[in-house]
């Protein structure tokens, strides 16, 4: 595999990871408000069992690929871009651990999930969208 193909595959993986984050934020988490509160822990447990395959493995591969790009990159790559890539990777991991990871480690499953808009705010958004049509 040439360095350019390796760089392209890392870029494709990065876009996949962005897509999974947006799918979670825009669709998956928002639909959790439709789940019966008694069923929510089962749904959340199933969701967590899928994360290693759909999220953690691609993110791990992207991190490894980003680090490997420091040594295995196209010869025309500017040095500043190589080290900026590694710096962004490290910052993303450290800041995630500081700001998100600690809260997730101690968080109890709660209903309704506070990051999800409540029904009345979603109804207002739906009504506004219907009115604009």
* Mean predicted lDDT score pLDDT of the chain: 81
Tell me the helix, strand and coil percentages in the chain, rounded to 5.
Answer: 75, 0, 25
Residue 58 near residue 17 (C-beta atoms within 8 A): yes
What domain range includes position 48? 3-132
How far is Cα of residue 10 from the mean position of the Cα atoms in its chain?
Answer: 16
What is the pLDDT, as a whole number, of residue 32?
84
Instruction: Tell me the torsion sign for CA atoms 123, 125, 128, 130.
Output: negative
Residue 71's region, left for phi above 0, alpha for psi from -120 to 50, else beta, is alpha
The torsion of the CA quartet 9, 13, 19, 24, rounded to 10 degrees, works out to 170
**pLDDT classification of 33: cutoffs 50, 70, 90:** confident
The pLDDT tens digits of the residues spanning 44-67 come to 889 889 989 998 999 999 999 999
Please count the structural domains in the chain.
1
Residue 73 near residue 7 (C-beta atoms within 8 A): yes
């Amino acid at each position: 595999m040439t360095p350019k193909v390796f760089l392209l595959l890392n870029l494709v993986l990065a876009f996949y990871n962005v897509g999974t984050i947006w799918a979670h934020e825009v669709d998956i988490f928002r639909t959790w408000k439709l789940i019966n509160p008694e069923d929510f822990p089962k749904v959340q447990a199933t969701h967590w069992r899928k994360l290693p395959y759909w999220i953690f493995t691609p993110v791990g591969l992207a991190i490894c690929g980003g680090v490997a790009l420091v040594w295995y990159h196209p010869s025309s790559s500017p040095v500043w871009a190589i080290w900026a890539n590694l710096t962004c990777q490290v910052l993303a991991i450290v800041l995630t651990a500081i700001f998100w990871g600690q809260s997730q480690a101690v968080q109890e499953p709660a209903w309704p999930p506070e990051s999800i808009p409540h029904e009345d705010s979603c109804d207002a958004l739906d009504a506004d969208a219907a009115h604009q049509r």
